[in-house]
Structure 1
Amino acid sequence: MSPVVDAHLVVERGTFRLDVPLRVAAGEVVALLGPNGAGKTTALRALAGLQPLTAGHLVLAGRDVDRPGQRHWTPPEHRPIGVVFQDYLLFPHLNALDNVAFGPRRHGADRRSARRRAAEWLDRVGLGAQARSRPRQLSGGQAQRVALARALAVDPVLLLLDEPLAALDARTRLDTRAELHRHLDAHPGAALLVTHDPLDALVLADRLVIIEDGRVVQEGDAATVTARPRTDYVARLVGLNLYRGVADGHAVRVDDRLTLAVADPLHGDAFVAFPPSAVALHPRRPDGSPRNAWPAVIAGLQRHGDNLRVQLDGPIAVAADVTPAAASHLDLAPGRPVWAAVKAAETRAYPA
């Protein structure tokens, strides 16, 4: 089956170049993640028609929308796309009903049918009683749902969501995320979620596409990406320590001063990953001399849930999670030398 979205997004802006192939199927939710400056917003703007492509193509449901090689470009208002912006961008002078009716009206519906459709969508998102409310009278969660209803009221082939939960407080975010998940499940078209929040991506998306410096560095379902991160950004995103080295059987040399014993036998270029919780700290070289033990220096300490996250310098930079009791017993402080140890069974090794 042909994808609803078949795109090769190439945009050049000064010294920055976005070069991202993207395919999204009907009913699929894809999350586009990456650090600040990776090109997420540029990609979203190119899809929405706010940033013309420099090269490549964008085809939506079999229809050419942007193909610079043939000098073909479709303006935003003629694209079968709905957008939920980060700040929602509701019209302050219109009530909720007319905000939602704006989309159908723009697509040619008469005023009565547009308002009837808007009322149906407000009911669907649980805001029928707020139809006459202006944006300033709505809570953050309600405003987000009005923006979602406005985007969906045009039956978009592609729904774009730009950091849709970023403006909400923690409690509202939890409830709204669950509500958004329900509506995305019911959306028959394709959906692209642009976010920097791994939890939003893991909960809402079927597939993750991770970009850095304008290029795709990894993609796959959540289980694949979290199990085998391929860049430092992805490793931090999923909470793992990640190192690249050269494997020879059950040993991976990750630094001139350190070779890690691993459970998985490999040969050649390899990644080694392990969670901060797998790192044990000792005041001196541990008894029994575990094979994965090395001297380190504490570079920083910070609260991490119920534990402390300890940043270590040494042959490799490592994050370790320890309990407050263990930290007190070890008398941890920046600049203090310690020994770090990781069991081979706690590591994951895989081809680079």
Structure 2
Amino acid sequence: MTAALLDARLVVDRGAFRLDVPLRVAAGEVVALLGPNGAGKTTALRALAGLQPLTDGHVTLAGTDLDRPARGSWVPTERRPVGVVFQDYLLFPHLTALENVAFGPRRRGADRRAARDTAREWLRRVGLAGHEHRRPRQLSGGQAQRVALARALAVAPSLLLLDEPLAALDARTRLETRAELHRHLAAHPGATLLVTHDPLDALALADRLVIVEGGRVVQEGDAESVTARPRTDYVARLVGLNLYRGRADGDRVRVADGLHLTVADRVTGEAYVAFRPAAVVVHPARPDGSARNAWPATVSGVQRHGDYLRVRLDGPIAVAADVTPAAAAQLHLTPGQEVWAAVKAAETHAYPATG
């Protein structure tokens, strides 16, 4: 990785919860911080913005310490070269779009005319020329998001922080705004940290993913490596895979008492086995033949999942299976029903649990 513009170790103690997350982001890089609710994503963003003091660790940006408790270093929020786009945008309701965007440059010392010129240029860049005198209540959700982005970028931040920037938008506006946001992030010369729980936003916008659970980093890497080899149940669900940890001996992995899965990869020792819900076939009785792994299961739930039905199965392992509506009707799938689940070895992917 190239030299980091942002070099941080974010340690925050909040009662029984402890955040301890190392972060490095290079100039021009977009890193997505992903995790379930309560993982510590927002706490991390607030610490970088200076809204949450660190208990320990450090925040160093472009070689300057913004927060290092051990040395007593602390830079207030308003003096940090950081731009923030909050989930609800937090535009000033009494100010026009132009005044909202000009606010940052004014706070950084620009005179009124220069700040307005900067704001006008940024509104043009985000496609809002002609909307300068509209107040937030006169803007659509997508327009408000673009004003918030323009306001954050108008101060030429070394670090841009995005807190669930698309969460408040409807599906159609979200798709259009995501593409627009990608264009602006690609042009941003500083470091960018995107905090989100949405895998589509992360995969579409970020160069690298950092997955946080329980205040700790559990996995990181580019999208291809993370999606190919998930290391926790959360990451597996995020990328739509069934995931199991077990003990491997060649092409067999023991994933539960009495259940060994034959896999396509040869692995020894602690290993993960992953396969897609679409690879799971549900049978009314034990299937014939030896080409499949098969085990008894009980239907625990059925719900629509796109063009398929997502069937939840309990048994020696809990598994998700995607079946067509026609197959579900033929099987008469209902909660509590006893069935058999099967998956071909060729549809599995096994890999070491360490390294």
TM-score range, shorter chain: over 0.9
Query: What residue in structure 2 maps to residue 336 of structure 1?
Result: 337
Name the SS of the counterpart of 1:161 in structure 2: strand
Percentage of identical aligned residues? 78
SS, match of residue 4 in structure 1: strand
Mapped partners of 2:95, 2:258: distance in 1? 65
- SS of structure 1 residue aligned to 2:176: helix
- Residue 195 of structure 2 corresponds to 194
Q: Which position in structure 2 is the counterpart of 1:220?
A: 221
Q: Equivalent residue for 1:92?
A: 93
Contact 1:260 1:291 in 2 (8 A): no
Aligned to 1:245: 246
Letter of the structure 2 residue corresponding to residue 230 of structure 1: R
Opposite residue 5 of structure 1, the aligned amino acid is L
CA distance in 2, matches of 1:230, 1:289: 29
Q: Is 1:281 aligned with 2:282? A: yes
Task: Determine the C-alpha separation between the residues in 1 that align with 2:348 and 2:203.
Answer: 23
Could you report, residue by residue, the CA deviation over 1:247-295 in whole angstroms, capped at 9, with x for unpaired residues? 0000000001210000100110000000000000111111114441001
Contact 2:4–2:26, Cα closer than 8 Å, also in 1: yes
Letter in 2 for 1:132: H
SS in 1 for 2:18: strand
CA contact (8 A) 2:263 2:349 kept: yes
Match of 1:350 in 2: 351
Equivalent residue for 1:179? 180
Two-structure CA RMSD over aligned residues (Å): 0.6
Normalised TM-score (structure 1):
0.99
Distance 2:61 2:104 in 1: 19
In structure 1, list runs of 5 or more residues that go unmatched. Answer: none
- 5 Å-filtered alignment, 1:67-146, equals 67-146=68-147
Structure-2 residue corresponding to 1:44: 45
3-state DSSP of counterpart to 1:99: helix
Instruction: Determine whether 1:254 maps to 2:278.
Output: no
Query: Which residue pairs with 2:171 in the alignment?
Result: 170
Residues in 1 aligned to 2:160 and 2:301: alpha-carbon distance in whole angstroms: 42
Q: Give 2:43's aligned amino acid.
A: T
Q: What SS does structure 1 have at the residue aligned with 2:95?
A: coil
What's the counterpart of residue 56 of structure 1? 57
Structure 2 stretches lacking a partner, 5+ long: none
Checking the alignment, whether the CA contact within 8 Å between 1:274 and 1:346 is kept in structure 2 is: yes
Mapped partners of 1:220, 1:173: distance in 2: 25
User: CA–CA distance in 2 between the matches of 1:35 and 1:107?
Assistant: 36
Tell me the equivalent position of 2:159. 158
Partner residue of 2:326?
Answer: 325
| Amino acid across the alignment from 1:209 | V
Number of positions where the alignment pairs a residue of Structure 1 with one of Structure 2: 352
Do the aligned partners of 1:209 and 1:216 also contact (CA within 8 Å) in 2? yes
- Could you list the structure 1 runs, at least 4 aligned residues long, displaced by more than 2 angstroms after superposition: none
